[in-house]
Amino acid sequence: MDFDYTPEEKDFQQEVRMFLKNNYPKNLQDKVAKGVALKKEDYVFWQKILYKKGWIAPSWPVEYGGTGWTLTQKYIFEEECGAANCLRLTSFGLVMIAPVLIKYGSEEQKQKYLPDILSSDAWWAQGYSEPNAGSDLASLQTRAERKGDFYFVNGSKTWTTHGHYADMMFVLVRTSKEDKKQKGISFLLIDMTSPGVSIEPIITIDGLHVVNQVFLDDVKVPIDNLIGVEGEGWTIAKYLLQHERTNIAQVPRSKKQIERLKLLSKKEIHNGKPLLEDPFFSAKIAEIEVELLALEMTSLRALSKASAGASSNSTSSLLKIKGTEVQQKITVLLMEAMGYFSMPYIKDVLIDGWQDEVPIGPEEAAFLAPHYFDWRKTSIYGGSNEIQKNIIAKVVLGL
C-alpha cells in the first residue's frame, strides 16, 4: 500500500483546500472550532454551497449526483474538511437512506426522493431504536399491518435525532411474526406530516433538544413507501448500518481535536510550565495520538481493499469501536486540561457563544463539559460497541 499521493491527487488536495478557504463561512468555522451548538439552518446553508459546487455526495453514483471521485479523493476531501473545521453533513439523508434507495429502491422511489436529499430540501430521520429495543434491534415491536394499498403503523421510536426537523423518516417495522424475529421486519418510509405522527422532545444532559421520541398511532403509509420487499428489512438495515458505522470513526475530526487539545495545553500553566510540557499529561496525549494513527492506518487499509473490490462487515465495526473510543478519550483530556474552568454549564453560551458576557476562565472552557457528556453516546449509537465486538468475534474469529 502506497501512502504517497500522486501529483494529480496533490493537485486535487490543493483544489479542495482553496475551495474551503474561499467558500466555507467563517462564522460556521468558528462555531465548530469552539463547540457552539449548530442549528438546522447552519447545516442547510453549508450543504447547499457544496451542492452548488457538485461536491455534496462523494459516495453516490455519478448518475444520481455523485462526484465520480476515487476512494483516495474522497479520503482527501474528508481530511481537508476536518482540518478546516467544517461541520459534519447531516448523515441521515446523504449517507444513510440515500445508499439504501440506490441499492434497494425502485426507480420511482429514487426519482422521488434522491433529488431533494441531494439539494438538502428534505430532512430525514432514522426510526430504528425503540424504548425496549435499542442494542437488540431485532426485538422491535412497532407493527405495520397491511390493508389494501396501505400499511397502518403503530408503535414508537426513540432517540430520533433531528426528528423534530424531519420531513421523512425511514423506519423498521414488524410486518409478520416469524420463528426468527429478524425475518418479520420490513423497511418503510414515513411522511412526518402524516396524521398519527407525534413527537415528544428528549432533552439530553447538555440541555439541548436534539433527540426525540416519535409516536405512531394508526399512521397510514402507502405500500409504495416499502423499500425492497416485505421481510427484507433486516438485510437493508444491516447494509445501512455499515455506512453509519464507517462514518462514525471520523479520523480527520479527531486529528483536529488533538490539535485543539495541544493548543489549549500550551496556554494552561501547571507548576510554572505549560501543561503540554508536563511529562504525565504529554504522555496521555501521545498515547491517544498513537491510537489515532493506528486507526488511520486501518482506515487506509480498508480503503485500499475497497479499491480492489474487497469489503468486510467487521471492518466497519472495528472502525466504529476504535473511532468512538478515541473521540471519548480526547474529550476527557480536554476537560482535564481546563480543570475546574471546564465545569460551568451555561446553556445560552453553548447555543450562541459568549456575547456580552465575560467568559468564565478561557473562552472555550464553557463548551467542554456539555460535549464531554454528549460524546458518551458515540459508543452506543450505530450499534453499541459491545454489539460490534460480538460481530467481530463472529465474523473474524468464527465464535
In DSSP notation, 246-297 reads: HHH--HHHHHHHHHHHHHHHHHSEETTEEGGG-HHHHHHHHHHHHHHHHHHH
CA dist 253 to 9, 32, 393, Å? 21, 11, 28
Residue where a domain stops, chosen among 89, 113, 137 = 89
Do 225 and 352 belong to one domain? no
Do 275 and 360 belong to one domain? yes
Residue 2 lies in a domain: no
CATH code for the domain of 227: 2.40.110.10
Closest to 76 (Cα-Cα) out of 8, 1, 13, 3: 13
pLDDT in tens, 40-93: 999 999 999 999 999 999 989 999 999 999 988 998 999 999 999 999 898 899
Better-scored residue on pLDDT, 233 or 359: 233
Do 254 and 228 belong to one domain? no
Residue 113 lies in a domain: no
Do 177 and 280 belong to one domain? no
Residue 210 lies in a domain: yes
Residue 240 lies in a domain: no
Do 226 and 322 belong to one domain? no
Do 288 and 155 belong to one domain? no
Do 180 and 260 belong to one domain? no
Do 228 and 254 belong to one domain? no
Residue 100 lies in a domain: no
- Domain around 227: 124-232
pLDDT in tens, 175-229: 998 778 888 999 999 999 999 999 999 998 888 899 999 999 999 999 999 999 9
Report helix, strand or coil for 84.
Answer: coil
Residue where a domain stops, chosen among 232, 259, 274 = 232
Do 228 and 257 belong to one domain? no
Residue where a domain stops, chosen among 232, 263, 287 = 232
User: What is the structure's pLDDT at 136?
Assistant: 77
Closest to 117 (Cα-Cα) out of 135, 105, 128: 105
Is 393 a residue whose pLDDT tops 80? Answer: yes
Better-scored residue on pLDDT, 299 or 215: 215
Do 60 and 141 belong to one domain? no
Q: How many helices (H) and strands (E) does the chain have?
A: 14, 10
Residue 107 lies in a domain: no
CATH code for the domain of 346: 1.20.140.10
Do 310 and 363 belong to one domain? yes
Burial class (CB in 10 A: 0-12, 13-18, 19+), 173: buried
Residue 331 lies in a domain: yes
Do 254 and 138 belong to one domain? no
The total of structural domains in the chain comes to: 3
